[in-house]
Amino acid sequence: MINFIIQLSLFFIILSLISQFLGKYMANVFEGNIYGWLKPLHTLEGFVYKIFKIEASKEMSWIDYLIGVLVFNAIGFLVLFLTLIFQAYLPLNQYHIKNMSWDLALNTAVSFVTNTNWQAYSGESAATYFSQMTGLALQNFLSAATGIAVATALIRGFVRKTTIYIGNFYVDFTRSILYVLLPLSIIASLILISQGIIQNFSSYIKADLLIPFKDSIKEITNQIIPMGPVASQEAIKLLGTNGGGFFNANSAHPFENPTAFSNLFEAFLIILIPASLFFTFGYMVKDKRQGWFLYIVSLVILISFMVIQYYYELKGNPILKHLGVKNTYPIGKELRFGLSGSSIFTTITTTTSCGAVNTMHDSLTPIGGLIPMSLMALGEIIFGGVGSGLYGMISMVIVAVFIAGLMIGRTPEYLNKKIEAKEMWSSVIITLIAGITALLLSAMALITKSGISSIENPGPHGLSEILYAYISAANNNGSAFGGLNANTVFYNITTALAMLIGRFFPIGAVLYMAGSLANKKLIPPSAGTLPTHTPVFGIWLAFIILIVGLLTFLPAFSLGPILEQMLMLKGVLF
């Protein structure tokens, strides 16, 4: 318990300190105020524009910006898709990994382009080094940069007035990579390597077992230990809230997450950019309180969920307790990290849209598993994905402002911009589409044979498995509950669909809103303006966030995890 409190406090104090600086730094970078000491990178930036013939000074309307995003992502998807289905013929394939099937390749390519990193394959046996490095790791950068760029465009919508221009996608994108993602990844990789993460192109190692054992057919005397360029991919997997592990076990694998320190450090990397972007937002709209406000509301919600999760895991499974097992809570967790390290990592990876895991969520207690599921179901806006978290949260604020604004007798406004029909359309699409998609697709899976046949456990637990998969995919999280055999044509296609809808509908809506906002006048604030940085509004915002989540998912959750918890207390397990 003490351990948990210390880890938690230390974690968030450091996060609060560092994310402010990073936030300010990013604000300056996106506004084009490049620091003097960044001169070499600035030269490189100019060089990039020259090669790709980008007119950096040319601004885009929202529709041009959107076309930029879509075309760029479509190309990224195609390249990755082709790489995966032809990976056997491409270099760096010492282990003779086969080409991916079309549906798995489709799913994987969509998954990495949409910043989801849902993995229906297992990295060590289904992807070559070449695929991992050039395809997957590259998309980790590109999808993250896309998210940041779109969020920046939205912020500009608030700052600017009566213009149709919201920035240049290629510039925002290039800057996110050059000044933010790349330098941070390099630093993070070095720190991770210091903790023992591997970085090599070696063949897989065959090792003799210390104690051979016999399975049903024959004696097992050795094991294959996969190798690879892990560290370079690990940092961006976390920083970009991607979450696609090099290995199937993801951050539970000792080569991806070797020590208790690396565990906290990884959790920190996951949440760093989403947290900083709140401050970037505050700096760019020239009202730092707005950034702090979103940060604090998110923090309070996250910590509450974290504590609940910790509490239920600590209580553990009463049935095992009755059987005399003392410490029931290590189930499904790495002993290296303990309960605290697991609870913190699990909630952080699901509150952001990362989806890297250091714990098998499937093995958590029912309520312990409900927490990560709920954090995703809230729409990945409590910090959320890089960029996507910020624009998701802003949309939620707009919904909250709309109703609260009416209650003070003004047509609602946020950050001096009037909220009207266009903003409402965008906001409801951004905040509701993932939930709708998850509900519809999970309904389809629950009533079809191809859906149910992938379930490993019957009853409410199986229901949770399906639900988790679609909530994770539609919200672009990408973590898996486990227990569900997701590499089937049915799941590959439906989860890919969920990921695409969950990613690009909101992006379109965000840019549409950015265009509409940029075109509006700025309304001078007065005593009659709803203050959007006060505790009262914070409570209201939290209420709206929770009630939207609750109204959308309460029936599903009550027949899944809640029912399972009740049954567990009665001694029924699945």
Which residues contribute to the site for other proteins (CB under 8 A)? 399, 402-411, 416, 419-421, 423-425, 428, 432, 435-436, 439-440, 442-444, 446-447, 452, 458-460, 462-463, 521-524, 526-531, 534, 536-537, 540, 543, 547, 550-552, 554-556, 558-560, 562-563, 566-567, 570
Q: Measured between alpha carbons, how far apart are the two ends of the chain, in Å?
A: 29
- Choice between 329 and 557, CB closer to other proteins: 557
- Choice between 298 and 552, CB closer to other proteins: 552
Report the amino acid identity of residue 45. Answer: E
Minimum gap (Å) between residue 309 Cβ and other proteins: 19
Dist CA 381 CA 351 (whole Å): 7
Distance of CA 5 to CAs 389, 447, 472, Å?
26, 43, 28
Dist CA 323 CA 19 (whole Å): 46
Minimum gap (Å) between residue 292 Cβ and other proteins: 17
Packing angle between helix 138-159 and helix 2-30, nearest 10 degrees?
70
Minimum gap (Å) between residue 318 Cβ and other proteins: 15
- Choice between 335 and 447, CB closer to other proteins: 447
Dist CA 204 CA 183 (whole Å): 30
Dist CA 135 CA 543 (whole Å): 41
- Choice between 244 and 515, CB closer to other proteins: 515
Minimum gap (Å) between residue 513 Cβ and other proteins: 13
Q: Where are the beta strands (DSSP E) in 312-430?
A: 413-414, 417-418
- Choice between 249 and 541, CB closer to other proteins: 541
Minimum gap (Å) between residue 514 Cβ and other proteins: 18
Dist CA 114 CA 76 (whole Å): 10
**Residues contacting residue 482 through CB under 8 Å, at least 6 positions apart:** 360, 361, 362, 363, 465
Dist CA 310 CA 346 (whole Å): 10
Dist CA 170 CA 50 (whole Å): 12
Minimum gap (Å) between residue 471 Cβ and other proteins: 11
- Choice between 427 and 492, CB closer to other proteins: 427
Residue 79: exposure state from Cβ atoms within 10 A (0-12, 13-18, ≥19) = middle
> Looking up tokens 């509950």, which residue turns up?
481
- Choice between 117 and 317, CB closer to other proteins: 317
Dist CA 208 CA 510 (whole Å): 54
- Choice between 186 and 554, CB closer to other proteins: 554
Minimum gap (Å) between residue 572 Cβ and other proteins: 9
Minimum gap (Å) between residue 381 Cβ and other proteins: 16
- Choice between 221 and 485, CB closer to other proteins: 485
Minimum gap (Å) between residue 436 Cβ and other proteins: 5
Dist CA 150 CA 59 (whole Å): 14
Packing angle between helix 102-113 and helix 62-85, nearest 10 degrees?
140
> Looking up tokens 């993932």, which residue turns up?
434
Nearest to 120 by CA among 571, 510, 492, 503: 492
Dist CA 357 CA 339 (whole Å): 14
Minimum gap (Å) between residue 272 Cβ and other proteins: 33
Dihedral (CA of 90, 92, 97, 103) sign: negative
- Kind and range of the H or E element at 208? strand 205-214
Q: Which residues pair with 541 in a beta bridge?
A: none
> Looking up tokens 């958590």, which residue turns up?
364
Minimum gap (Å) between residue 429 Cβ and other proteins: 8
**Parallel, antiparallel or unpaired: strands 417-418 and 205-214:** unpaired
- Choice between 264 and 455, CB closer to other proteins: 455
**Residues contacting residue 66 through CB under 8 Å, at least 6 positions apart:** 507, 508, 511, 512
Q: Are 114 and 502 in contact (CB under 8 A)?
A: yes
- Choice between 137 and 518, CB closer to other proteins: 518
- Choice between 368 and 435, CB closer to other proteins: 435
Minimum gap (Å) between residue 320 Cβ and other proteins: 20
- Choice between 323 and 447, CB closer to other proteins: 447
| 399: Cα within 13 Å, side-chain hemisphere | 21
Minimum gap (Å) between residue 465 Cβ and other proteins: 11
Minimum gap (Å) between residue 330 Cβ and other proteins: 27
Minimum gap (Å) between residue 547 Cβ and other proteins: 7
Q: Which phi and psi angles does 220 have, rounded to 5°?
A: -100, 125
- Choice between 326 and 449, CB closer to other proteins: 449
Distance of CA 400 to CAs 37, 292, 299, 543, Å?
41, 17, 18, 9
- Choice between 204 and 425, CB closer to other proteins: 425
Rg (CA), the chain: 23
